[in-house]
Every structure is written in structure tokens, then in C-alpha cells.
């Protein structure tokens, strides 16, 4: 009788389609972990300006929605705003490195964020097979904001003074009714970080801050902050895979964390303490970073949780 033994393929001999099927099978428990849960993704940095990465990002977000997850995309657009202001001949003023947003500037900010950038992301998601809708924080009073009060200390006199940044705001309330309705459908919301005050003033809000506030209000399972670095690094420049809130605070105090990573970590801490299960800082320039983080054991970037 002929030998009926089925040969076992090694990883090197395995056809591509078999390897893909195994990858999908291994992702199943992670898909179940996030089933019907909200994942807020802050999309920005150089990844947003790269067309190829933008197409891959759109496919990944549509895949999340098709997998039963409720993704919410919040985007930035600093470089695009700067380019448009330069194109229109509007000179920006800065105080201690922070852009002062006057009435003319905030109109351009809203035009770029809620207009061209927002609709470009919506179009990419729709081309990838999803159904996306663009919103700003003014739609449905989604983001109620107030003026940011920025205090800076003069290095020479050591005197602290209040700097007026103009129409730069911070969220004080997130009205989730619109998002609650959208998430019961097959539509993916894409949100521009523009807020409105009770008096009707328009405010430009940092995209990380807006995403953190929305994630907290939605009690999101995860908040993903896509950046231009691999995550939070130690003093030797090595990636730290996980941090507790207390560890994150200590790293900011002892000087390990400096510069632009400090406000990102502050957003992470605020989000976790406000009900988000965990926040991940990861490199948006890495292809499929969102899928690697959510659907694999090792994840990507730095995870911050209680």
C-alpha cells in the first residue's frame, strides 16, 4: 500500500497564500479582543504626506471597520497649514516657538483642516472600499473648546508671564451623540481638530489633544498616536515597549523625556486616567503600523496604561 503520509512544509517551502492564511488565523484572538470596541487613531506627521503610506493607512482603517472594530480617525495638518499660509502671504508670528493664531490665520487653519486635508483622507478611505464621512469639531457641537492659557517662564528674569496665542483652544466637552449614531452604521468618522466655544468662536486644537479627549469621551479601548518616531525612547535611544502612568511621569521629571514628546505623554496620561484602557505611541511611517499594533502579540511602539 503506498505511503499516504502528508509532507509537512517548512516555513521556507510554504506557499505565500498559506502563510497569509496562517497570519489571518493568528490575528483572530486579537480581532475578538477589539470586537465592537472603539479605537481612536490620531493620524499626522510625515505619514500623512506620503501618498503610498496614505493608501496603506486607508486600507488598514477600512479593514478594522470590516473586522467589527469602530475606528475613529482624528487628523492633524501642521505642515499643510504652514504651506498654505506661506502661499497666501500670511506671515505667522511666534511666541516661545508657539504659533500665534489670529483671526485671519484661524480661518486658513479651518479651511485646510476641515477642507482639503479632511476630504483627502475621506476620499482615500472611500477608495479603499470604506464609507467615510468628514467632520470637524464644530459639527453637532462635537468639540466645545475654550481659549488656551499658555504660561511661559522667562529664562533671564525667571518671571512667569501669560502668552496670548490667539485662537488656540483646548477641549472642555466632547458631545458624542453624533459619533454614537455613526458608529452604529458602517461609516468611518474622520475628524478635523477644530473646536467651537459656547460664544461661537472657532479654535484650532492640537490634534493629539483632540484625539485624547475624544478617546476618553468614547471610553475607547485604544488610542493610537501615529508619530514620526518609533515610540517613547530611553536615554540610550532604545524603544520602551510598555510604560505605566507613574513611570511616564517619572521619565518626564528626570529628563529622559524632553521636547515634543512631553505633551504627547501628557495626552496619554490624561486619556488613560479618563477611561481609555491604553494609549500607544507608534511610528506612522511604518507600513501597516496600526495592524501590527492591534493584531499581533508584540505590537508596535510604546504602550501606556495604568
Q: Is the pLDDT of residue 5 over 90?
A: no
Q: Indicate the helix (H) or strand (E) that contains 279.
A: strand 278-283
Give 86-141 pLDDT, tens digit per residue: 898 888 777 655 678 888 899 999 999 999 999 999 999 999 999 999 999 999 99
Q: What is the rounded CA–CA span in Å between residue 249 and residue 244?
A: 9
Question: How buried is residue 197: exposed, middle or buried, by Cβ count under 10 Å (0-12/13-18/19+)?
Answer: middle
| Cα separations in angstroms, 117 against 113, 239, 243 | 5, 31, 33
Q: Is the separation of the CB atoms in 186 and 131 below 8 Å?
A: yes
Q: What percent of the chain has pLDDT over 70?
A: 88
Which domains are assigned to the chain? 36-305 (3.40.1160.10)
C-alpha span between 257 and 255 (Å, rounded):
5
pLDDT in tens, 200-220: 999 999 999 999 999 999 999
Phi first, then psi: give them for residue 268, nearest 5 degrees. Answer: -60, -45
Residue 40 is placed in which grid cell?
481612536
Q: Are 167 and 160 in contact (CB under 8 A)?
A: no
Measured CA to CA, the distance from residue 181 to residue 24 in angstroms comes to 30
Contact 60, 288 (CB under 8 A): yes
Amino acid at each position: 500500500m503506498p505511503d499516504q503520509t502528508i509532507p509537512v512544509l517548512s516555513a521556507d517551502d510554504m506557499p505565500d497564500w498559506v502563510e497569509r492564511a496562517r497570519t489571518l488565523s493568528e490575528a483572530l484572538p486579537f480581532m475578538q479582543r477589539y470586537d465592537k470596541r472603539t479605537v481612536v487613531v490620531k493620524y499626522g506627521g510625515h505619514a500623512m504626506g506620503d501618498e503610498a503610506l496614505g493608501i496603506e493607512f486607508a486600507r488598514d482603517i477600512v479593514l478594522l471597520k470590516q473586522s467589527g472594530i469602530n475606528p475613529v480617525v482624528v487628523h492633524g495638518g501642521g505642515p499643510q497649514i504652514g504651506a498654505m499660509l506661506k502661499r497666501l502671504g500670511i506671515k505667522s508670528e511666534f511666541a516661545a516657538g508657539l504659533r500665534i493664531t489670529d483671526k485671519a490665520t484661524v480661518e486658513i487653519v479651518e479651511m485646510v483642516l476641515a477642507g482639503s486635508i479632511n476630504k483627502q483622507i475621506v476620499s482615500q478611505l472611500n477608495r479603499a472600499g470604506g464609507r467615510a464621512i468628514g467632520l470637524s469639531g464644530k459639527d453637532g457641537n462635537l468639540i466645545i473648546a475654550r481659549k488656551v492659557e499658555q504660561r511661559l517662564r522667562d529664562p533671564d528674569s525667571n518671571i512667569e508671564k501669560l502668552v496670548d496665542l490667539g485662537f488656540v483652544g483646548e477641549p472642555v466637552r466632547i458631545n458624542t451623540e453624533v459619533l454614537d449614531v455613526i458608529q452604529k452604521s458602517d461609516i468611518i468618522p474622520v475628524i478635523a481638530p477644530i473646536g467651537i466655544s459656547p460664544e461661537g468662536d472657532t479654535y484650532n486644537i492640537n490634534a493629539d489633544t483632540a484625539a485624547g479627549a475624544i478617546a476618553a469621551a468614547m471610553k475607547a479601548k485604544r488610542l493610537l498616536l501615529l508619530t514620526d518616531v518609533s515610540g517613547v525612547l530611553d536615554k540610550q535611544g532604545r524603544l520602551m515597549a510598555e510604560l505605566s502612568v507613574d513611570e511616564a511621569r517619572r521619565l518626564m521629571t528626570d529628563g529622559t523625556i524632553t521636547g515634543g514628546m512631553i505633551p504627547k505623554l501628557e495626552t496619554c496620561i490624561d486619556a488613560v486616567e479618563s477611561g481609555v484602557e491604553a494609549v500607544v505611541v507608534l511610528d506612522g511611517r511604518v507600513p501597516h503600523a496600526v495592524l501590527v499594533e492591534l493584531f499581533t502579540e508584540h505590537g508596535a511602539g510604546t504602550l501606556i496604561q495604568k
